[in-house]
Structure 1
Amino acid sequence: MSSGTQQLVFPVYLYSYFEQAYQAVMGKPSVSFQYVQGVTPLSTGLESFSIMVTYFVVIFGGQWVMKNFQPIRANFFFQLHNLVLTLISLALLVLFVEQVYPIYRAHGLFYSVCNDGAWTQPLELLYYLNYLTKYYELVDTVFLVLRKKKLEFLHYYHHSLTMLLCFTQLNGKTAVSYVPITLNLLVHVFMYYYYWRASCGVKIWWKKYLTLLQITQFIIDLGFVYFCAYNYFSATYYPTLPHVGTCAGTESAALFGVLLLSSYLFLFIQFFFKTYKAPAVKPAAKKA
């Protein structure tokens, strides 16, 4: 849909400003973008896997090197990093909402998460830009290493594999991608805002609820991806089973998404109870 016929979600059509910015930076219109596996930068498994391996070498090698040095706070750069990611996440979120809502309004929820027609050129560009941010978010861990903070398994597992998740869904063209992506962007707006304000010395009381928001995000994600995967496999292999219809996307992308998001939910729930559950008071301590 062009900006002239686009149903407005906000008072102005924000994507038109994005198109102008894209033209200024790239020197060509945004409508010229097409994601082509093997041609578009960072569109091959070798590139993504190589960067993931480099990420692990850097963070664990960095931990070994930092044993001989005092922590490097780098507060200004840390604050700037988190502020930039707050703004990027917010910008992508509103652009996604602006593109997805008219599709949902015109065709319904099932169409928006399962139909090939819901994979539009503007959304493909936004999916790709969101994918690129996952590489920049790896810098989060570098700051932890420089500050000599403990690296939780959940942190580097989530950072490294979310990058691959976005890669697989982009290549698989799974229409339901907008659900986990928009929810993730919403979480990231609050999360990076929290890190930015906390690094400025502001005490934030809602960190616990941020983790609860992340858990809620994965529950909603799984509701959608299980539904879409079930409909795809039922329509393709077991048409006698009750289903609404088939769903767009490749089988490998669907299976990887289901398995990875399931593991995220389990690990975040585990992290929540480990971090926030009050330790049991021993009888002797109670008596004292």
Structure 2
Amino acid sequence: MSISFSAEQPFGIKLYPLFEKAYETIVGQPASAFAFAPGVTPFASTNEVMISCVVYFVAIFGGQFLMKHLPAFKPQILKVPFQIHNFLLTIVSGTLLLLLAEQIWPKYQQHGLFYAVCEPSSWDQKVELIYYMNYLVKFWELLDTVFLVLKKKKLEFLHYFHHSMTMVLCFTQLVAKTTVSWVPILLNLCVHVLMYYYYFRTASGARIWWKKYLTTMQIVQFMIDLVAVYFCSYTYFTYTYYPWMPNMGSCAGTELSASFGCALLSSYLLLFINFYRITYKKKAALKQQQHQSKKSFKQQ
């Protein structure tokens, strides 16, 4: 296998053919045969998504209720499953990240950024399959919350809201064929590679100094997401309804999916900023207070 770098081969070798071989081995049919069809493809109906959300909430809150009367699972029992869970999600997230980047980079290089985020033809069969695989991973990631319940950890609203609604978001954008989807998906995968690697390492007792910066990365991620999705929504709505206003033309997707995506990602940004403020600003204030107390004690 020759190594050469180009717009079509940004990583030196073509990764997608390797993915196709693995896909056909596991699924039993070529990757080129995949087509996302709402109501036909597994987990591709509104009812399935709604039922999944209900089952998720029943499982975590029902499990939390049951665990009130039981001791938390011992760390040594959950350690290996938790490590495997996070290690595999690190690998899968990294694989999807590279596969998607390999598909998007040539579009950007050959046609420009607007084409990559707005043109319907930018949404092709290969990209659709990667988006669908990413969507399925969102179901797998719900196990994050199950581990929290078994450990009797506090369930933050941000955690279960983000996990459940991201699954819904991925579904709505798949159905609508929203071309700009690659921006939040790529950024999300970048964060998840680091996040699941962090949890994998800390589960084995390692001390990772950059945990604080994961939340910062998530905040920056949502800021970039919002610039992309608000721009695409703006140019679509102005082109469609207010053509006299400055715009760059129409943009692929539906009005409902655009509105939902903008609203949900905006809520994520606000929630993560609030989480950062509560978690790290208060900790910093507490440390400062403890430092002042020790200083006063020494002076006495």
TM-score, length-scaled by structure 1 = 0.96
Which residue does the alignment assign to 2:60?
Answer: 59
Question: How far off its partner does 1:11 sit?
Answer: 1.3
Question: How far off its partner does 1:6 sit?
Answer: 8.1
Measured on the aligned residues, the alpha-carbon RMSD in Å equals 1.6
Question: How far off its partner does 1:7 sit?
Answer: 1.4
Question: How far off its partner does 1:211 sit?
Answer: 0.5
Counterparts of 2:200 and 2:130 in 1: how far apart (Å)?
24
Counterparts of 2:80 and 2:253 in 1: how far apart (Å)?
42
Q: Is 1:173 paired with 2:177? A: yes
Alignment of 1:68-147 (within 5 A): 68-72=69-73, 73=75, 74-147=78-151
Instruction: Point out the more displaced range, 220-229 or 60-69.
Output: 60-69
Question: How far off its partner does 1:23 sit?
Answer: 1.0
Which residue does the alignment assign to 2:3?
Answer: none
Report the number of matched residues.
284
Which residue does the alignment assign to 2:267?
Answer: 263
Counterparts of 1:23 and 1:6 in 2: how far apart (Å)?
26
Which residue does the alignment assign to 2:213?
Answer: 209
Structure 2 residue matching 1:51: 3-state secondary structure:
helix
Question: How far off its partner does 1:263 sit?
Answer: 0.2
Q: What residue identity is the alignment partner of 1:128? A: Y
CA contact (8 A) 2:239 2:249 kept: yes
Question: How far off its partner does 1:279 sit?
Answer: 2.0
Q: What residue identity is the alignment partner of 2:93? A: S
TM-score, length-scaled by structure 2 = 0.92
Which residue does the alignment assign to 1:150?
Answer: 154
Structure 2 residue matching 1:279: 3-state secondary structure:
helix
Q: What residue identity is the alignment partner of 2:183? A: V
Which residue does the alignment assign to 1:244?
Answer: 248
Which residue does the alignment assign to 1:254?
Answer: 258
Unaligned runs of 5+ in 2: 1-5
Aligned sequence identity (%): 55
